[in-house]
Amino acid sequence: MNGAWRTGIKDRFNWFSLINKRTVSALLLLSLWITAQTVSLRRRAITHADLPRELSRRLLPAEPADAVAIRFARMVSGLAVSGEERVHDGEFDHLIYFILQSRSFTSLPLIEPALSAAELVRSMNVAERRRYLEQNPDGRIPVASLPESVRARISEFVRRVADRRRTTEDERLGYFLNLTREAFSRQKGREAGSPDQLLRAQYFRAMRFLYLKEFESGSNDATGVARLYRQRAHSTDTRVEANYAVFNGLGSLRRKGHPMIERVLIVGPGHDIAPRTGLIDSVPPQSFQPFAVADALLSLGLSDRQSLRIDCVDINPRVVSYLRGLGSREVILTLFSGIEETPDSSLTRDYREYFLRLGSEIGNEEKPVYYSPSRLVKRLRVSRSIAGLINADRFNIVTERYDPSPGYDLVVATNILTYFRIEDELPLALANLAAMMSPGAALLHNELTLLESDLFTFVGLPVEQVRTLLIARNNANPFYDGVVIHRKK
């Protein structure tokens, strides 16, 4: 609560002192209630005492209570450190994808990351390939194996890193230049090297995961891909298609007569800075899931503008920085379908209708600056009153929770649960989510591979409904997403 507002209240109380004391007391109580609603949420680390008995038995051996508590605290501390490391590696994944695909610093031909990973691995002999894919967790191999096209693009980027005299108004390029300079500055003095060597090592690491995902596990092997994601760096990629699944899930809640939703938690809302493929330089980095969720809730009549509040939590500080203070600045989104239409692939009518309606409750459409003949595109100027409903906090959902519970009516966690290991991270994340939800609240996610897990039942979040959604028809590989709805007991 700012000082000017408090001064205004004080002046009004001076004036109201002319009225009877009962009226003044009522106004004072109202003021105190408003103040309580604006207090920041408090987070703390999860403790062993927070675990349901079934989860404790699964996670930890049977030991005396003090020993179990100490072991658990060490496990949580280790997971927190691991989470930070995955954020660090994820930022460099995005940097490598940016170097391969961006037009902002070079005119060299673009490189599709997955194809680059294939070129890299297929250039190795059998022993090198085995060491790279199976035996080397860092994914490093001799520098001589670097494809020439990649070497040229890295060199161009390094020249921009070294030239501090040249400034840039490009938000994305500026972020990655600073990221590289800071990383090299921290590395310097501990080990020999150069920005060029730093980026080559990061390229080898990022390509290892990409090759395993696209060419070893197989894109149709959902279980195999899920296993890989539990080891990979944290990504902030975000696509409109995931919000189509959320919209359909919320539609199901409405048809079942779900009560009005006031408090919403979005876990891992994402920030589109340099996706694995299809980087669009002309669109600045943006996050659109919080706006899409607000639009869906309002258009479906599940929320109203006066009472809706959306909290976003993410372990990545870049995501949180974008989402904080949205109500004080102009927010313009360029929404586009992540799937391109081709002669062999077409978006479904239902998805197309969803995209055309998207944003109608939260802002005004403008003429897009970016245009693509193969994508649906729209530009949306978001209402400041809507942007002001969104808050953000840096938060590790595996190791932390808000206490006391905010009592969320809805939790949205798309494309995030798959990052968590089933043996430790996922149980803790679900326990934290359940503790912050009100009875009868809904959890929506799109990880169909987790349906057989009994962890949701252990934390009191049984499955209520599952839907599979066709988004694009393709002769070879149709594109589906899904939504799973859990209801807290």
Q: Domain segments of the chain: what residues? A: 3-33, 82-229, 240-487
Strands (DSSP E) found in 268-399? 309-314, 332-336, 345-347, 363-366, 377-382, 390-394
Q: Which residues pair with 470 in a beta bridge?
A: 480
CB 279 within 8 A of CB 93: no
State which H helix or E strand residue 149 sits in.
helix 148-162
pLDDT of residue 130: 86
What are the tens digits of pLDDT across the range 149-159? 999 999 999 99
Q: Which residues pair with 487 in a beta bridge?
A: 442
Q: Which CATH architecture has domain 240-487?
A: 3-Layer(aba) Sandwich (3.40)
pLDDT of residue 475: 74
Q: CA 234, 103, 314 angle in degrees (round to 5)?
A: 20
Residue 405: name the closest of 102, 46, 79 by CA: 46
State which H helix or E strand residue 401 sits in.
strand 400-402
Residue 26: name the closest of 13, 11, 43, 39 by CA: 13
Average of per-residue pLDDT values in the chain = 88
For the segment 95-121, the average pLDDT, to the nearest whole number, is 97
347 CB-contact burial (10 Å; exposed 0-12 / middle 13-18 / buried 19+) = buried
Residue 78: name the closest of 393, 403, 425 by CA: 425
Q: How many residues does the chain have?
A: 489
What is each CA distance from 315 to 135, 236, 426, 486, in whole angstroms? 29, 10, 15, 23
What are the tens digits of pLDDT across the range 47-56? 999 999 889 9
Give residue for tokens 């869906």.
296
The pLDDT of residue 11 is above 50: no
Three-state secondary structure call for residue 464: strand
Highest mean pLDDT among 32-41, 219-228, 367-376: 367-376
Q: CA 465, 466, 467 angle in degrees (round to 5)?
A: 125
The pLDDT of residue 19 is above 50: no
Phi-psi group of 147: left, alpha or beta (phi > 0 → left; psi -120 to 50 → alpha; rest → beta): beta
